[in-house]
Structure 1
Amino acid sequence: MHTDASLVVEFLNTVNVEEGTDLLEDPGQWREWAAAHALAANQAGEARAARDALRAAIGDPRLPGGRVDVGTRISLTADGPTLVADDVVGAVFAACTRLVVRGDWIRLKICPADTCLWAFYDESRNRSRTWCSMRVCGNREKARGWRARAAAG
């Protein structure tokens, strides 16, 4: 997975619906997560608003979405212009912008399984992957559908 996609997916998955955990609820863990990515931790409320808006934008049905404005800057380096941010939210939005420019934004998806809702990056050739994992969520949903059809028939 590309570095930008990895950062975005990891940030989106700081909430785990299946386990009922949210890394942003623990200030120590949130600071550790940011430090592990060599970034400054935003205030939890700001990070949560950004995460929820991004998750809604890529398909999380639980969230209403909304507008989020993020400050970044453009720096001219030896490799050319680049988006720069010092904090997590800015870096994630800069990574999202690069994904949009490359045409890879549509590869960011949310697993449709109600008990999962895990964010993932679709690396399939035709961008048609639906489930975060066919072995887990996809298989579970297909089995559930088969049982429902068998009971109805």
Structure 2
Amino acid sequence: MAAEPADITLVLDFLNTLDVEDDVDALRESGTWRQWAQDRGLRAGALATGVQTRDALRAAVGDPVARQARIKAPVQIELTGAGPVLAAADAVGAVLAAAARLKVLGEWERMKICPADDCRWAFFDHSRNRSRTWCSMQVCGNREKARAWRERTAAEHSGQA
């Protein structure tokens, strides 16, 4: 069973409220946090909880700079005509419910953080064997390969002198 695109999108959008490359953080101020939540039809809740949850989720998917933490959010199971669903009171609960669904479906491991220090963008690995490393091979992957090539070339030239 495949993950719902809405769950993937919500979790990625939340993880990427931090844009390292452009130094943008939607959770830097309560106004931008409320706007982020409102744009998704959610209630924001406390800013500090949002920041702590985002950092913990980023750490859980491999961001080496993010702080791990144990987070709890009130989520209820509601029985509807379509069956049981996870229902949350606020944005943090909705994101954690989406993340829990991804984990139950075996898709959580596809959530990754780009290893480029100047990027660290969260992405969903759609590759068949789950081996994608870079958020974009054309940008970050290419940049890293070029950097490694320059380092090898410089080392080879310094060894010949």
Q: TM-score band (shorter)?
A: over 0.9
Which residue identity does 2:126 align to in structure 1?
Answer: E
Paired position in structure 2 for 1:45: 48
Deviation at 1:29, TM superposition (A): 2.1
Paired position in structure 2 for 1:82: 85
Q: Would the aligned equivalents of 2:74 and 2:89 in 1 still touch at CA under 8 Å?
A: no
Secondary structure of the structure 1 residue equivalent to 2:27: helix
2:50 matches 1:19: no
Q: Deviations over 1:117-143 (max 9, x none)?
A: 001111111111100001100000000
2:44 matches 1:55: no
Paired position in structure 2 for 1:126: 129
2:113 matches 1:106: no
Which residue identity does 2:151 align to in structure 1?
Answer: A
Deviation at 1:24, TM superposition (A): 1.1
Paired position in structure 1 for 2:12: 9
Paired position in structure 1 for 2:159: none
143, 148, 152: which one aligns with 1:140: 143
2:5 matches 1:36: no
Which residue identity does 1:20 align to in structure 2?
Answer: D
Structure 2: any 5+ residue segments left out of the alignment?
A: 157-161
Q: Deviations over 1:16-67 (max 9, x none)?
A: 1111121112322221211111100021110000000000001000123121
Secondary structure of the structure 1 residue equivalent to 2:56: helix
Q: Which runs of 4+ in 1 moved over 6 A?
A: none
C-alpha distance in 2, partners of 1:35/1:21?
18
Secondary structure of the structure 1 residue equivalent to 2:144: helix
Q: Would the aligned equivalents of 2:73 and 2:93 in 1 still touch at CA under 8 Å?
A: yes
- State which structure, 1 or 2, has the greater radius of gyration over its C-alpha atoms: 2
Secondary structure of the structure 2 residue equivalent to 1:24: coil
Which residue identity does 1:141 align to in structure 2?
Answer: E
Which residue identity does 1:61 align to in structure 2?
Answer: P
In the superposition, the TM-score normalised over structure 2's length comes to 0.92
C-alpha distance in 1, partners of 2:23/2:86?
34
Aligned residues: 153
Secondary structure of the structure 1 residue equivalent to 2:42: coil
Q: Percent identity?
A: 56
